[in-house]
């Protein structure tokens, strides 16, 4: 019995050390190329963490908000921002927990992002922008407008999910996944695999370079 316990402890320790070495290697390799380096980076000191954004162009403000996934960032807008900044002041933002913004340990909810976008518009843009949002981010954009009349000049939604998807509560499955991701070392390993460069490339080429469906309000 003691030998079984000892062997189990040794095996778990070996797996933990191996995963930690893989995590460190993946982190070092991902930072080595520094592909997201940009001299135009600015940071908004929000109460829950530093928010990275880029401001370019001149004219009526446009705020570009990326989708909500572990792979999402403002880089999704790089091609469109260059065209829009010819006639508008364009703000591209990395939401909290995404891209080069800080990733604090907390529960990320729609209302958290409502607060972030509301504060960003009022304190950084200081005007009602046209918001272009994609995917699941449309949910908290519309909620922010409902809670703050005239926060936005116009909302343009790209590939909006079906409305019934917005009315969901965490299931047992999602709660289990969250608990698994919060396990030290193992959760980091799962995140690193999920956000591997090949997965990001696959996402961009299969989703973001397809023809989008547009919907606008106001």
- Asked if residue 195 has pLDDT above 90, the reply is no
Instruction: Tell me: pLDDT of 32 over 70.
Output: no
Mean pLDDT of 124-134: 95
Backbone angles phi, psi at 124, to 5 degrees: -105, -55
Task: Give the span between the Cα atoms of 101 and 65, in whole angstroms.
Answer: 13
* Per-residue confidence (pLDDT) for residue 39, from 0 to 100: 65
Of the listed ranges 31-45, 58-72, 139-153, the one predicted with least confidence: 31-45
Question: Mean per-residue pLDDT for 184-211?
Answer: 67
Query: Helix 137-147 and helix 110-120: axis angle, to 10°?
Result: 60
The phi, psi pair for 105, rounded to 5°, reads -80, 100
Buried b (16+ CB within 10 A) or exposed e, 196-208: eeeebeebeeebb
d(CA 111, CA 82) in angstroms, rounded, equals: 30
**Residues 6 or more apart in contact with residue 114 via CB below 8 angstroms:** 140, 143, 144, 147
* Cα gap 106→24, rounded to integer Å: 23
pLDDT over threshold 90, residue 184: no
Give the span between the Cα atoms of 69 and 81, in whole angstroms. 20
Per DSSP, helices labelled H in 66-171 are 78-84, 110-120, 137-147
- For residue 38, the tally of other CB atoms under 10 A from its CB is 13
Q: What is the pLDDT of residue 129?
A: 97
Cα three-residue angle 111-113-119, rounded to 5 degrees: 105
């Amino acid at each position: 019995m003691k030998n079984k316990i000892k062997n189990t402890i040794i095996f778990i320790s070996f797996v933990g050390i191996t995963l930690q070495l893989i995590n460190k290697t993946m982190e070092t390799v991902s930072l080595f190329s520094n592909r997201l380096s940009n001299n135009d980076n600015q940071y908004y000191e929000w109460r829950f963490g530093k928010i990275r954004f880029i401001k370019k162009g001149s004219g009526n403000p446009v705020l570009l908000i990326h989708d909500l996934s572990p792979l999402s960032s403002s880089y999704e807008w790089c091609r469109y921002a260059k065209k829009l900044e010819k006639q508008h002041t364009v703000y591209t933002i990395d939401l909290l927990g995404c891209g080069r913004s800080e990733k604090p340990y907390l529960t990320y909810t729609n209302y958290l992002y409502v607060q972030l976008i509301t504060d960003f518009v009022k304190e950084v843009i200081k005007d009602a922008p046209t918001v272009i949002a994609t995917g699941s981010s449309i949910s908290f954009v519309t909620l922010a407008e409902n809670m703050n009349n005239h926060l936005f000049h116009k909302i343009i939604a790209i590939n909006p999910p079906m409305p019934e998807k917005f009315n969901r509560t965490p299931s047992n499955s999602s709660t289990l996944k969250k608990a698994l991701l919060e396990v030290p070392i193992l959760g980091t390993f799962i995140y690193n695999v999920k956000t591997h460069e090949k997965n990001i490339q696959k996402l961009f080429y299969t989703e973001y370079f397809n023809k989008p469906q547009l919907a606008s309000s106001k």
